[in-house]
Amino acid sequence: MTDLPSPSKTILRALSGERQAIPPVWMMRQAGRYLPEYRATRAKAGDFLSLCYTPDLAAEVTLQPIRRYGFDAAILFADILLIAQALGAELWFATGEGPRLSTVTGPGDLARLKPVEAIHETLSPVYETVRILQGELPAETTLIGFAGAPWTVATYMIAGRGTPDQGPAHALRMADPDTFDALIELLISATIEYLSAQIAAGAEVVKLFDSWAGSLKGEAFARYAVDPTRRIIAALKARHPGIPVIAFPREAGEGYIGFARATGADCVAIDNSVSADWAAAHVQVDGCVQGNLDPRHMVTGGAALTEETRRIVRAFSNGPHIFNLGHGITPEADPDNVQRMIDAIRGG
């Protein structure tokens, strides 16, 4: 493990529970298609997966928004489904349609997956990207590693693609709970190994993206969103004392309440389906909150962008807060609107 990062970094101060007059800011998908420099680098790579697995180019696109905007954090450029590929699933990206995978729908498919210890061979370029970034990022910029949470990754592995309601995964957990639970267990173990290796390579914070947590209700939310997150965080903190973890159970709604206490997360990222005022009253009471500007403002801009940004900053001003979007920035966003957002946060 590398030395623990400097507590002077604004992101780390927020994650330790400090309220700051100007909240630190970064954006989900801040390295992405809305930036012309990203599009040029992706063209050089040839395809998306080649970009993810070429450390020099992955580091370059991670650094591009830091150079342009001076965000307080850089997030490793990768994809949540690389871990599925490392476990032996076939993975490809269909132009204009998103990811496609070979499916896991029964015990035979599960048996064909690789053991957890085999993932590092495939994922070693990702760790090299982290090492490059640790050496090239500005001293004040926090490096964030990440992984998809087990439930979300499982939904793709079961359906072979993204789905609007995660129906295939829900169907499998009901029809064949043994196969489903075994897949979740495999993903919990693999995620611990993957994030631990990112931390060893230099990540100062890690984030768990549970993009489809909102489709889990009641006991299923507790079993497949809360418990895997708790176990992953506990294992990481046992191996890497002091490592901060951000959890993002997107569209959890009332499930955001108490999520930090239940999982040990240092920060809960919230989407824009809940208001900042509600989250300040119900979620921030337990510690740092990250969020939650509607990404559509990055497209439309104008006075509404500035006003909503300032409103969110005010709503969370009584406790620790990391400013972010409620989900990832979209390809059609105007890069100038990102600067308008930053200026509104920092008082420019």
Q: First and final CA of the chain: distance in angstroms?
A: 38
- Catalytic-labelled residue, pool 42, 161, 239, 296: 42
Tokens coding 140: 């004040």
To which residue do tokens 């043994």 refer? 178
Tokens coding 218: 């009641």
- Answer yes or no: 42 catalytic: yes
- Catalytic-labelled residue, pool 33, 39, 223, 311: 33
- Answer yes or no: 156 catalytic: yes
- Catalytic-labelled residue, pool 127, 156, 194, 224: 156
- Answer yes or no: 230 catalytic: no
- Answer yes or no: 53 catalytic: no
Tokens coding 89: 């699933």
Answer whether 308's CB lies under 8 Å from 341's CB: no
3-state DSSP call for residue 148? strand
3-state DSSP call for residue 207? strand
- Catalytic-labelled residue, pool 13, 38, 69, 79: 79
Answer whether 282's CB lies under 8 Å from 253's CB: no
Tokens coding 115: 């053991």
- Answer yes or no: 256 catalytic: no
Give me the helices (H) in the chain, please.
10-15, 36-45, 48-52, 55-69, 82-86, 107-111, 119-136, 150-159, 167-175, 177-201, 219-221, 227-239, 259-263, 276-282, 297-300, 302-315, 335-346
Which among 266, 160, 124, 156 has a CA at the least distance from the CA of 205?
266
Catalytic residue numbers?
Answer: 29, 33, 42, 79, 156
